[in-house]
Chain A
């Protein structure tokens, strides 16, 4: 026991398990692990709002529910506003201290639910909006979304016609709404992820947490490589971990030693068709974005 107590110093992740076994996610699902970590922090006084997405299935068919908290499954485009309305209802009935979490995939967030996400952010609805981003419509069969990165294969960007458009930058779009808190997270960095949930829980108004969430069947990656893919995404700066407070104050969460983007791409079959020139193009784009991000951080520092 003493040894365990010693180990605990190394992590802020809580012991307790709210989510339990019996979920129906695919092996190696990043979204299932993200939920487990999030709920450890959020606790039982939480309601989760799912639109149509993998998690609407993962939670399990009747009578099973793996999430261990009340779940409200809503229409595809309505996660943000349904959560906003629940939050307003709780406030009106005097119920305090309940985390209202909208938990949506990238399609439900950045495509069909985008208008309502923007509206909820503009009203500053008191919710935590989580986008678990597996970068395509995985639940309906790996169709491209506006979160699918340039160069990726999907069932609707097949063969040589792989995706030709770049991924939407969700955090920047939401930061432009000047919401109180926006952050990126991923399952390879659990302490960082739970810290961001704690921050969101203690912040009034609209919070966004954008979780990069590897999907072995959709990314054509090995089930055992979920954490590795997640870590390489951060190390290669494809998915930097950072926070934005009040829409303007950018802060880098960590800056691990830089890794080549190709290490990240090589783990995933959805990029296997890319030529070395195309891989270099992605490397170049990632570096450009990194410079822009660091620039924003310097502006934040300069403006205090």
Chain B
């Protein structure tokens, strides 16, 4: 987001959940299908009030998979659509998330992560759904998950989630957590002139020439809005470019490969991360979301104690910014991976990092955020 200094922005003091809802509306979201679940419910509350004001539609559904289904249906009519949930609800949505990937329906799924598994800790922080976002629904598919850490980033990443969903015709996950969802912070609402809004590719060919998964239009084929004059078939089954089911191995393979390729071949265009004092770092901290805020303090404290620590914070958690981490990890003496779970991101770091140095986790569950000092202790252990 390009910040223009001459623009007067509205300043608000909002919790993350309200920011998500308002940013979604700013991004053009006009449909919300949801089910009550703590700690994400405030997003639904705001959407139920705000969407009718902007001629949008809010529907409270009877359960989580229905909410996901509603979002998919709305998306196919051409609307920008969103749902919001938390851990158990994210589990319940998974079948329809896979369906959205398969039919390539653009949509945004917000997960305000809480402690798990099962009912877990409805009112307290967890960061334990990141592997579920990556692998939760069955089958191979592209995954885009964004993990903002600050209120202004919650706003901008919500807008980006819609843009990426539209651009790639795929569900995009916005993963925040209970702390970010409920933490009120000062926010300067960006002016619409400061960001771009992307619309899905729509067909320009004659209706009789249209195929919903036509690879000749590239890896992201245009998608026609329902009842816009284009007739096509939608199915969760293996399908060919017409959208009808196929048992052809070759067509099945090429379609699935295209689905992955449409995102993975463009990673350079949207991969994002933050580096803090990594230039000369001996110890690298890799973390995301609200935990990264504690890590920032830990880096400063370590520097004050004479330890060259640095922070690498992926914002696009999936696809993981692997090239950058590989480069940063070359001459490092150790990597610390703090996360509010019992060790999930650390597997990705172990896979990607290009070093023989120790990789250690700082893992805390039970509903209390990781404190800077807990990270600092690990940094000191590695030196």
B38 to chain A: which residues have CB within 8 Å? 140-141
B42 to chain A: which residues have CB within 8 Å? 141
Asked if B88 lies at the interface with its beta carbon under 8 angstroms from chain A, I say: yes
Q: How far is the CA of A141 from the CA of B60 in the complex (A)?
A: 14
- B36: contacting residue among A73, A140, A159, CB under 8 A: A140
Contact A75 B88 (CB under 8 A): yes
B64 to chain A: which residues have CB within 8 Å? 112
A212 to chain B: which residues have CB within 8 Å? none
Q: How far is the CA of A56 from the CA of B63 in the complex (A)?
A: 19
Please report which residues of chain B, range 55-99, place their CB below 8 angstroms from some CB of chain A when the two chains form the complex: 58, 60, 62-64, 88
A137 to chain B: which residues have CB within 8 Å? 36
Contact A143 B88 (CB under 8 A): no
Given contacts A76-B88, A156-B60, contact A141 B119 (CB under 8 A): no
Contact B48 A158 (CB under 8 A): yes
Residues of B within 8 Å of A, CB-based: how many? 19
Asked if A84 lies at the interface with its beta carbon under 8 angstroms from chain B, I say: no
Q: How far is the CA of A146 from the CA of B62 in the complex (A)?
A: 8
Interface of A is mostly: loop
Q: How far is the CA of A75 from the CA of B37 in the complex (A)?
A: 13
Question: Interface size for chain A: under 10, 10 to 19, 20 to 34, or 35 or more residues?
Answer: 20 to 34
- B52: contacting residue among A76, A112, A140, A161, CB under 8 A: A161
- A141: contacting residue among B41, B62, B88, CB under 8 A: B41
B37 to chain A: which residues have CB within 8 Å? 140
Asked if A144 lies at the interface with its beta carbon under 8 angstroms from chain B, I say: yes
Q: How far is the CA of A143 from the CA of B60 in the complex (A)?
A: 9
- A112: contacting residue among B41, B49, B62, B119, CB under 8 A: B62
B62 to chain A: which residues have CB within 8 Å? 111-112, 114, 146
Contact A140 B41 (CB under 8 A): yes
Asked if A157 lies at the interface with its beta carbon under 8 angstroms from chain B, I say: yes
Contact A143 B119 (CB under 8 A): no
Asked if A260 lies at the interface with its beta carbon under 8 angstroms from chain B, I say: no
Asked if B44 lies at the interface with its beta carbon under 8 angstroms from chain A, I say: yes
Contact A75 B118 (CB under 8 A): yes
Asked if B35 lies at the interface with its beta carbon under 8 angstroms from chain A, I say: yes
Contact B63 A111 (CB under 8 A): yes
Contact B36 A107 (CB under 8 A): yes
A158 to chain B: which residues have CB within 8 Å? 45, 48-49
Q: Which 6 A-B pairs have the closest CB atoms?
A: A143-B36, A112-B63, A111-B62, A140-B36, A156-B48, A137-B36
Of the A-B pairs whose beta carbons lie under 8 Å apart in the complex, a sample of 5, sorted by A's number, is: A143-B45, A144-B60, A155-B45, A159-B49, A161-B49
Which A residues have a C-beta under 8 Å from some C-beta of B?
A: 52, 56, 73, 75-77, 107, 111-112, 114, 137, 140-141, 143-144, 146, 155-159, 161
Task: Supply 4 further A-B pairs (C-beta < 8 A) apart from A75-B118, A158-B48.
Answer: A114-B62, A143-B44, A156-B48, A158-B45
